[in-house]
Chain A
Amino acid sequence: MTNKEKFLALVSAENDDTLEKNSERVKNRAMLRESQLIAMKVLMKLDELGWSQKELAKRMDVSPQQITKIVSGKENLTIETQIKLQTILDIPVLASYYENKIETLPEWVVNIKKGIEKISVPAHQVAVH
């Protein structure tokens, strides 16, 4: 028996999980991609707001370790966590973000219309030369 055969006989009983973890990553790819996108949005927004991850943890009432996990982009985030992120940071995470925006759209339209009316010059005031 060669050393190679001896070794392979030895390790066959061992469970090295590198390949298994690799397969898990491939299997969970759709979830991981979403998690990564959310992590990117969170990090960019924190920069924009000038907040630290610790500050976000405080506002979300979670541990700083939880924020570290969120911004790594590897977490399977609960809906509760996604709602908190969306509300506190005002970033689009769930479809409700856009639905809420659309609901408020008529109000915007009315306001824009009023604004236009204010700045338009009435027809009878336009001088004709």
Chain B
Amino acid sequence: MKIIHIFADVLFAFHYDNEVSNEYERLMDLWTDVAFLKQFAENNAVSNVSKFIRGILQDAEQIQDFLKNLSQGDQPFELYFQPLQNSEYNRLLGFQKGKVRRNRLRYYAIKIGDNCFVITGGAIKMSQTMQQHPDTVKELIKLKAAKTYLNKNGVFDEDSFYELLIEQS
């Protein structure tokens, strides 16, 4: 488990030991893989597979544009990430979800400080609540595991987070 620096002092992502790339990259690869999306639609009993695939591909493009614009402009990433639940608002290392309006793709992250996030994973939203779909249940477990990892490594604010990153590099 390693934290990868993506953009300035704002965006980071976990790279898990058994994966070939960090979570942003791994998920964007999946969400733009037509064969994967077809299989996913069939596994989830989606009625119109072609429409579903086209929709997710468009959603992925929207997120790519969003990241590109955020990394080029002065807008804070807080425009994209929001607390997973109301109780996470002011919580230290709070759970966040990346959300674009009418978009079914979600990145999940832990908020380290003002406008500083570490992506822990992501999923295609298929249910109203995270507890209703196995993929999002798995993402909740990953969020909790990531927080435990940060806690165990003495991360409690931005400064201690950067201390961990320096130790890693």
Instruction: Fill in one digit per residue for A8-31: 1 if any B CB lies within 8 Å of its CB, else 0.
Output: 101100101011011101100100
Instruction: Name the one of B71, B159, B163, B169 contacting A19, with C-beta atoms under 8 angstroms.
Output: B71
A71 to B32, CA, bound (A): 11
- Give chain B interface residues in 18-34, CB to chain A under 8 Å: 22, 24-25, 28, 32-34
A6 touches B166 (CB 8 A): yes
B33 touches A74 (CB 8 A): yes
What is the chain B residue whose CB lies nearest that of A47? B38
Interface segment among A36-44, A86-94, A101-109, A121-129: the answer is A36-44
A123 to B76, CA, bound (A): 80
How many whole Å from B149's CB to the nearest CB in chain A?
Answer: 18
Total number of B residues with any Cβ neighbor in A under 8 Å = 36
B5 touches A16 (CB 8 A): yes
Tell me if B13 is interfacial: C-beta within 8 Å of chain A: yes
- Give chain B interface residues in 102-160, CB to chain A under 8 Å: 158-160
A67 to B19, CA, bound (A): 23
A3-B166, A4-B162, A11-B169 given; A18·B33 CB < 8 A: no
A2-B162, A3-B159, A22-B67 given; A43·B169 CB < 8 A: no
Question: Contacts of A8 on B, CB cut-off 8 Å?
Answer: 8-9
Question: Contacts of B28 on A, CB cut-off 8 Å?
Answer: 21-22, 25
Tell me if B75 is interfacial: C-beta within 8 Å of chain A: no
Tell me if A64 is interfacial: C-beta within 8 Å of chain B: no
A7-B162, A22-B68, A25-B64 given; A16·B4 CB < 8 A: yes
Question: Contacts of B36 on A, CB cut-off 8 Å?
Answer: 72
Please give the residue numbers on chain A whose beta carbons come within 8 Å of chain B beta carbons, in ascending order: 2-4, 6-8, 10-11, 14, 16, 18-19, 21-23, 25-26, 29, 32-33, 36, 39-40, 43-44, 68, 71-74
Nearest 9 CB-CB pairings of A with B: A3-B162, A73-B34, A39-B34, A71-B35, A7-B162, A4-B162, A3-B163, A72-B33, A18-B6
> What are 9 pairs between A and B in contact, CB < 8 Å?
A3-B166, A6-B162, A11-B5, A18-B4, A18-B13, A19-B6, A21-B25, A25-B32, A39-B35
19 additional contacts (CB under 8 A) given A6-B166, A25-B32, A33-B57: A3-B162, A3-B163, A4-B162, A7-B5, A7-B162, A10-B169, A18-B4, A18-B22, A21-B28, A22-B67, A22-B68, A22-B71, A32-B32, A39-B34, A44-B50, A71-B34, A71-B35, A72-B34, A74-B32
